[in-house]
Amino acid sequence: MKNPFLSGTKVYLRPLEREDAPLLVPWINDAEVTRTLEVFYRPMNLQTELEFIENIYKSEHDVVLGIAVKQTDALIGATGLHRLDGKNRRASFGIFIGEKAEWGKGYGTEVTTLMTGYAFETLNLNRVWLHVYEYNERGIRAYEKVGFTREGVLRQDRYHEGRYWDTITMAILREEWEARKRQVR
């Protein structure tokens, strides 16, 4: 493992470096990857990605990490807690696995578990929330497995491929996280 910050069974999370940018850029320009992502609908070039990596680690409102496979050290995507709000003790969660061959191997579920645990147990947050599009069944399933529940629907919130789609708000509270941990023990 290279510079692990959070470690799971199959993947570990590490800070992104400038050297990672050339790998990240093609993923962010890949329509199959970005069809379920909110922010990446405009073209991204290397310079923009380098600036993102440089600036994000200065932000007190974001915790961004690369996702690496333990066995190979290969970087396959990135994840983050965003909009960190110290007063209300909440943050939003985001993830993308850019290496499409790595979808469906349980990595997304493990990353969500690692980041949610970090949010509650290290950052002492009370609520982690996310937005997911109604057609992102893989994402919804992964979040449900970690204990996120559906809270509400933003109707026709997303325009994609010629029509509007609903956005689902999901969240997990600290008390729900702790109750699930007690069940596992």
The pairing of strands 127-133 and 90-97 is: parallel
CB of 179 to ligand COA, least distance (A): 21
Instruction: Show the CA angle centred on residue 91, arms to residues 2 and 124, nearest 5°.
Output: 75
Q: 112, 157, 104, 116: which is closest to 133 by C-alpha?
A: 157
Q: How far is the CB of 101 from ligand COA (least distance, A)?
A: 11
Report the residue closest to ligand COA, judged by CB: 108
CB of 157 to ligand COA, least distance (A): 13
| CB distance 18 to 47 below 8 Å | no
Of 116 and 136, nearer to ligand COA (C-beta) is 136
Residues forming contacts to ligand COA in the complex (CB under 6 A) are 33, 36-37, 77, 95-97, 103-109, 132, 136-139, 141-142
CA dihedral 159, 45, 50, 60 (to 10 degrees): -10
Nearer to ligand COA, 70 or 138 (CB): 138
| Minimum CB distance to ligand COA smaller for 144 or for 175 | 144
